[in-house]
Amino acid sequence: MATTLPAFTPVENSLFLTLCCRALDNRSAHPVLGDETADEIVRALDYDYERLNTNTDLVLNVALRAKKIDEVASNFIARHPDAVGLDLGAGFDTRPARIKPPSTVDWFDVDLPEVAAAREAVVPDRAKAHTIGADVTEQDWLDALPTDRPVVITADGLMGFLAQDELVSLLDRLIAHFPRGELIFNGYTRFTIWVARHAPGTRSVADQVRFPGMDDPREPERWNPRLKLVEEMLISRQPEIAQFPRVLRTYYRLQSHSTWWSRKGTLILHYRF
């Protein structure tokens, strides 16, 4: 029988777009990410993903950006087996099931309280994975996390919903809380924010997009002097593009020659502090 979910707000509902894209990637002949648990969750919820108007390009982009974020988190954990993992705006993402941190790592998935409560019912439990129901722009939730361990912080699909001052203050609090760590999230340029506000696929959250966009990946280094850019990953330049269908592959290969053009697509920003 399908699980009954509470009525989510439009921002909370945005979790279904990314979840369903990862499930649809898993159903494709050659998955980029291969997230079987996401697929099982969508089937168990009997979620009508047709209403989301996804397309192959979006599915591949969401799957590939999750894969890149997973790789950074896994590499960090391999170097820091005592790490804390923290996923901001986790939705029903199954990152702990994909990257399988060792039992020495505590992983915290944070989302708004309604989503966090539903997540506990929907996403299969894993040892040392904890769910926190909180608005990340608020102060107190970080108190539940250790202060003496290195952290890898991921955020997939969250930043567009935060105003710039909220993001800056969130980063300041994270950097002050942990001794050192890495941060990886999908970035939005002013152009991609414009697209999020106007594209049919994101119409339901268009009014909730609050981040103005950031064209210079080094801008966060000016927000907090401890933050250093490790890498700006442009999707067009990732090797997995070779698996994309021919038309998309050709498009991204052309795009990869131009950083300016590539920044009009999905990009992933990786920092350390």
Ligand X SMILES: C[S@@+](CC[C@H](N)C(=O)[O-])C[C@H]1O[C@@H](n2cnc3c(N)ncnc32)[C@H](O)[C@@H]1O
Q: Please, how many CA atoms are within 13 Å of residue 250, restricted to the half-sphere of its CB?
A: 2
Residue 119 or 263 having the CB closest to ligand X:
119
Q: Which of 136, 153, 174, 268 binds ligand X (CB under 6 A)?
A: 136
Instruction: Note whether 129 binds ligand X by CB under 6 A.
Output: no
Q: Interface with ligand X includes 93 (CB under 6 A)?
A: yes
**Residues of span 10-69 touching ligand X by CB under 6 A:** 11-12, 14-15, 18-19
CA dihedral 221, 163, 53, 89 (to 10 degrees): 70
Reduce the DSSP state of residue 37 to 3 states and report it. helix
- Spatial strand order of the sheet with 106-111 comes to 129-133, 106-111, 84-88, 151-155, 181-187, 267-272, 228-234
Stretch of residues binding ligand X (CB under 6 A), selected from 28-36, 87-95, 246-254, 263-271: 87-95
Pick the closer one to ligand X by CB: 82 or 138.
Answer: 138
Q: How many CB atoms lie within 10 A of CB 210?
A: 16
Q: In the complex with ligand X, which residue's Cβ is closer, 105 or 158?
A: 158
Taking the least distance from each CB to ligand X, the nearer of 14 and 266 is 14
Question: Which residues of the shown chain bind ligand X in the complex (CB under 6 A)?
Answer: 11-12, 14-15, 18-19, 89-91, 93, 110-112, 115, 135-137, 156-158, 161
